[in-house]
Chains A and B, each alone.
Chain A
Amino acid sequence: MKAGSGIRTAALAWCGLMFCMQGAQAADTLFSDMGGQDAIVKIANDTADIFLADARIKATFDDTNMDRFRKMLALQFCQVAGGPCIYTGHSMRDAHKGLHLTNADFNATVEDLQKAMDKNGVSFATQNRFLARLAPMQHDIVTR
């Protein structure tokens, strides 16, 4: 295999794959697949509970108004899932400013959210569709 043709073939294959991946995401049924509005509010509440019980990250919420946090989390989850909500909270960058969160902290919240979704019967594949939309928030949330 020649080097040039190898790289060209690989690049071409990659582009083809990307095209397929994009097509697969066209129909947005995530909101209903997660169980709709009621399930998402419950997932947000359970997630908040699990955050507060998680020794790795609970100190992060010492100065947080948890009632507001639960409402905002539910709104955000609903909007990100493609539901009929508009998130009215701070940007992710502003909300996490000064908290000096690490990737390990971020991943701890992911594990907690996974637990909350498990608890509410969201399938693994559906969980991943949701997490894929949240994952890029790492860029704004992790500042250390």
Chain B
Amino acid sequence: MRAAFAALLICPALILSALADNPPPQSSLMDQGAAIFDSGKLLATGGVSDLEGAGGGGLATWALISGYGTRDGIGANGHFTYVDLGSYSLWTEGVTVGLFDRVELSYAYQSFDTEDVGAKLGLGKGFTIDQDVLGAKVKLVGDAVYDQDTFLPQISAGIQYKHNDKDWLISAIGGKSGDGTDFYLSATKLFLAQSLLIDATLRETKANQFGFLGFGSDKHDSYSTEFEGSAAYLLSRKFAIGAEYRTKPDNLGIAREDNGWDLFAAYFFSKNISLTLAYLNLGNIVIENDQQGVYVSLQAGL
């Protein structure tokens, strides 16, 4: 299933990048149809797919609209991400569509594997908690790339609806709901003269550990305002390195929840394929401290 998804993702992208290098001689109806996928944005300015499937870094959601479609076109991409945290692991796959550099729609399926912790907690070794994330983002003002003559960032507002499939477990640990909706306001700016991209995002959320442990709790069921931020330095047109930080609510009585951070490197092979590698640290997750490890994410699109 995962291999098939990966093949589905990569093959068209590879074919497309080959076509882009050697465009077919005559213009067919298909080419004209493909023109809507104009791939007109500059390399890397589509960002990558974050943990929740939105255009961003890894932990932080950005104001950029995902994909390489300009305001006259559409961009679409798929991604898969694997995170090995030590006692847990996480698999995410999803698709994101950018419409006319204005609206972004995303879907991500996330599977959180409790590995040996599942056995310790009596859930069974390799017990997984699965979650669907549906996202929508709209660009409100500014352009992160062109507006180099003003300090106004690109600002977008977004919403993410998350549905966790383990309601019974969430109730058992004191969580309030298996469904949650996050709202965020994101500001992103490329300081081109400094080769630096900065993002700051405020998120209204009830999520416990991104929603894997549900939303809200018996002791705290209101929204918290959380921060996520990224700083990325461009080493070349294809290569960026950076750091991110994300604060999270601490709603549950059974466990402490820490903030997360990461150090990442993203390589853009072409507008069709990018690979992100990161060191991710999420601190305590339920009974295990120091959950940290490798984050790998592959994005392919047109």
Seen from chain A, the residues whose Cβ lies within 8 Å of a Cβ on chain B are 1-3, 6-7, 10, 13-14, 17-18, 21, 24-25, 55, 102-104, 107-108, 110-111, 114, 124-125, 128-129, 131-133, 135-136, 138-139, 144
Query: Which listed residue (B73, B187, B226, B247) contacts A14, Cβ 8 A?
Result: B187
Report yes or no: A128 in contact with B225, Cβ–Cβ below 8 A. Answer: no
Partner of B234, one of A13, A55, A110, A128: A128
CA distance A136 to B11 in the complex (A): 37
- Judge whether B40 and A107 touch: CB under 8 Å: yes
Q: Are B148 and A104 in contact (CB under 8 A)?
A: no
Contact across chains for A21 and B146 when beta carbons are under 8 A apart: no
The contact sample of 28 A-B pairs, CB cut-off 8 A, is A3-B202, A3-B225, A6-B227, A7-B202, A10-B187, A10-B200, A14-B153, A21-B191, A102-B40, A102-B72, A103-B101, A104-B38, A104-B39, A107-B42, A107-B70, A111-B42, A114-B237, A128-B194, A128-B195, A129-B192, A132-B193, A133-B193, A135-B147, A135-B148, A135-B149, A136-B146, A136-B147, A144-B72
The contact of A132 among B143, B192, B225, B247, by CB within 8 Å, is B192
Query: Is there contact, CB below 8 Å, between B235 and A124?
Result: yes
Which A residue's beta carbon lies closest to that of B231? A17
Select one of A25, A104, A111, A136 contacting B73, CB under 8 A: A104
Per DSSP, are chain B's interface residues mostly helix, strand or loop, or mixed? loop
A110 closest partner in B (C-beta): B42
Question: How long is the Cα–Cα vector from A108 to B143 in the complex, in angstroms?
Answer: 18
What is B's interface to A at a CB cutoff of 8 Å? 23, 38-42, 70-73, 101, 143, 145-149, 151, 153, 187, 191-195, 198, 200, 202, 204, 224-227, 234-237, 247
| B200 closest partner in A (C-beta) | A10
Q: A6-B227, A110-B42, A136-B147 are in contact. Are A103 and B192 (CB under 8 A)?
A: no
Given known A132-B193, A139-B146, contact A124–B234 (CB-CB < 8 A): yes
- A102 to B204 Cα, complex, angstroms: 36
For the complex, what is the distance from the CA of A18 to the CA of B237, rounded to whole Å? 24
State which of A1, A21, A104, A128 has its C-beta within 8 Å of the C-beta of B247: A1
A139: min CB distance to chain B, Å? 7
> With A1-B224, A1-B227, A7-B202 in contact, is A104–B40 under 8 Å at CB?
yes
A21 contact from B40, B143, B194, B237, Cβ within 8 A: B194
> Closest residue of chain B to A118, judged by CB?
B237
How far, in angstroms, from A18 to B1 measured CA to CA in the complex?
47
A55 to B114 alpha-carbon distance, docked (Å): 53
Contact A1 B73 (CB under 8 A): no
Complexed CA–CA distance, A17 and B153 (Å): 12
Q: Which 5 A-B pairs have the closest CB atoms?
A: A104-B40, A132-B192, A132-B193, A136-B149, A103-B70
Query: Which of chain A's residues has its CB closest to B223's CB?
Result: A3
Given contacts A132-B193, A135-B192, 8 further A-B contacts (CB under 8 A): A6-B225, A6-B227, A13-B200, A103-B40, A104-B72, A129-B192, A135-B148, A136-B146
